[in-house]
């Protein structure tokens, strides 16, 4: 008679990895939950610090007491209070909205396409918004940020719609691979047309050259009020897509087996990404790499589940963008370095690291 503890034929012995008993599994859950609570609390604290730094740091440093007084009991005619309320507060709110939108849209697109290097630029959304902006500048003469908002959102929406419709044609519908390929094609076409427009008009080139870098300055409350509702709708749609994205990580067939309507779900996620990326582009210009860097950083902290990845991306995106903006104010005084350039300096090495890691995993 064989002993009951014998290892079954063909089974691999794993002495260093003991079986997880129900007791240890129950103990692991509180530890994981408490860690996630800590991560969320840390992100909230970092966001508060980033907002405080955005309001206080600049070519004219101000104390936090002065900032607090300027916000809650301003004195008429006080120059420091005017700097906070009229210049830095709108700039900070733009960073909050644009950073949250970019971080969340990147998480959506990476989950939708199952591509670790996906961001709003992958599906041609940023390129569509930029093409619409330069076309508006060249044909209508509009140069104010408030006037370019709707053109940017419309361009992003058209580009997203083209990608979804074209990728849906043929066998299999809008698969992740088809979305990425069609998005790359739309991005290339839109970029080529944009280049033709700006090279043919010096005024358009001058305006677009500043806007395309990505900056939080020179944006007023009118731009925030125009894009805020669009971004809010995108956030609601995105947060409601967490279960769908978790199911899609298992593949289309398993997602359908779990009761998900794959076609409708993809359309909702893409609409949310278009609203978020279009609103952010209208606010701050085509800032790159925020949508790439933020979801990867969040996944390292909270894991792969989108129920935490999405809301944490909403918190982490503004932290990155506001910190980049603050750094840009102080590195080359008395001038400023646009936030889009600072983010690119951080994002480029991260992109290289992601590509190298992906190659190592698939090797």
pLDDT tens-digit map of 319-356: 999 999 999 888 877 778 888 888 888 777 776 776 67
- Determine the Cα–Cα distance for residues 230 and 340; give it in Å rounded to an integer: 22
Domain parsing of the chain, residue ranges? 118-286, 287-363
Q: Running along the chain, 363 residues long, what does each successive block of 10 average in pLDDT?
A: 42 41 48 81 95 90 90 87 90 93 92 80 82 86 74 86 82 73 88 87 77 75 85 94 89 82 86 88 83 88 90 94 90 80 79 63 43
Rounded CA-CA distance 308/299 in Å is 9
Q: pLDDT for 243-289, tens place per residue?
A: 999 998 888 788 888 888 888 888 899 889 888 988 888 888 888 78
Residue 357, pLDDT score:
65
Distance between CA 277 and CA 98 in Å, rounded? 8
User: What DSSP state is assigned to residue 88?
Assistant: I
Q: Which residues contact 320 (CB under 8 A, 6 or more apart)?
A: 99, 103, 290, 293, 294, 343, 346
The pTM (predicted TM-score) of the whole model is 0.82
Classified as helix, coil or strand, 255 is helix
| Structure tokens given for 283 | 């606010």
Residue 5 structure tokens: 């503890």
Name the token pair of 117: 């290097």
Q: Which residues of 186-208 are buried (b: 16+ CB within 10 A; e: fewer)?
A: bbebbbeebeebbeeeeebeebb
Half-sphere exposure of 71 (CA within 13 A, CB side): 15
Rounded CA-CA distance 168/128 in Å is 19
For residue 20, the model assigns a pLDDT of 42
Of 123, 124, 120, 127, residue with least CA distance to 103: 120
Cβ count within 10 A of residue 263: 14
Return the structure tokens found at 150.
């709707």
Which residues are CB-contacts of 113 (< 8 A; sequence separation ≥ 6)?
122, 123, 176, 179, 180
Say which residues have a Cβ less than 8 Å from residue 224's Cβ, sequence separation at least 6: 90, 93, 94, 97, 283
Tell me the fold of 118-286. Answer: ABC transporter involved in vitamin B12 uptake, BtuC (1.10.3470)
Nearest to 96 by CA among 341, 349, 339, 347: 339
Long-range contacts, stretch 71-77, CB < 8 angstroms, 24+ apart: none
Q: Tell me, what's the pLDDT at 205?
A: 80
The encoded tokens of residue 248 equal: 């899609």
């Amino acid at each position: 008679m064989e002993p009951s503890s014998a290892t079954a034929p063909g089974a691999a012995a794993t002495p260093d990895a003991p079986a997880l008993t129900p007791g240890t599994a129950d103990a692991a859950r509180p530890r994981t939950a408490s860690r996630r609570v800590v991560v969320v609390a840390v992100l909230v604290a970092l966001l508060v610090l980033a907002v405080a730094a955005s309001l206080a740091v600049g070519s004219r440093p101000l104390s936090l007491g002065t900032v607090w007084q300027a916000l809650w009991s301003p004195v008429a005619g006080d120059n420091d209070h005017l700097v906070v309320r009229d210049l830095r507060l709108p700039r900070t709110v733009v960073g909050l909205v644009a950073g949250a939108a970019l971080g969340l849209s990147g998480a959506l697109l990476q989950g939708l396409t199952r591509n670790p290097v996906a961001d709003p630029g992958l599906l041609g959304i940023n390129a569509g918004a930029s093409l619409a902006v330069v076309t508006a500048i060249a044909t209508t003469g509009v140069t104010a940020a408030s006037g370019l908002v709707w053109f940017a959102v419309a361009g992003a929406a058209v580009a997203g719609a083209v990608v979804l419709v074209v990728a849906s044609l043929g066998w299999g519908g809008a698969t992740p691979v088809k979305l990425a390929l069609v998005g790359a094609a739309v991005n290339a076409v839109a970029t080529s047309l944009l280049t033709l427009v700006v090279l043919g008009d010096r005024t358009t080139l001058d305006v677009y050259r500043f806007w395309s870098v990505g900056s939080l300055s020179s944006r007023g409350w009118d731009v925030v009020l125009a894009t805020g509702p669009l971004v809010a709708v995108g956030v609601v749609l995105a947060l409601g897509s967490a279960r769908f994205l978790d199911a899609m990580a298992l593949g289309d067939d398993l997602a359908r087996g779990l009761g998900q309507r794959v076609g409708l779900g993809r359309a909702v996620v893409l609409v949310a990404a278009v609203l978020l990326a279009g609103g952010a582009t209208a606010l701050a210009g085509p800032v790159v790499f925020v949508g790439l860097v933020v979801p990867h950083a969040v996944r390292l902290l909270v894991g792969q589940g989108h129920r935490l990845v999405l809301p944490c991306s909403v918190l982490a995106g503004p932290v990155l963008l506001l910190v980049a903006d603050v750094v840009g104010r102080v590195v080359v005084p008395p001038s400023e370095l646009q936030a889009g350039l600072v983010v690119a300096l951080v994002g480029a090495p991260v992109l290289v690291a992601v590509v190298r890691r992906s190659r190592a995993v698939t090797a």
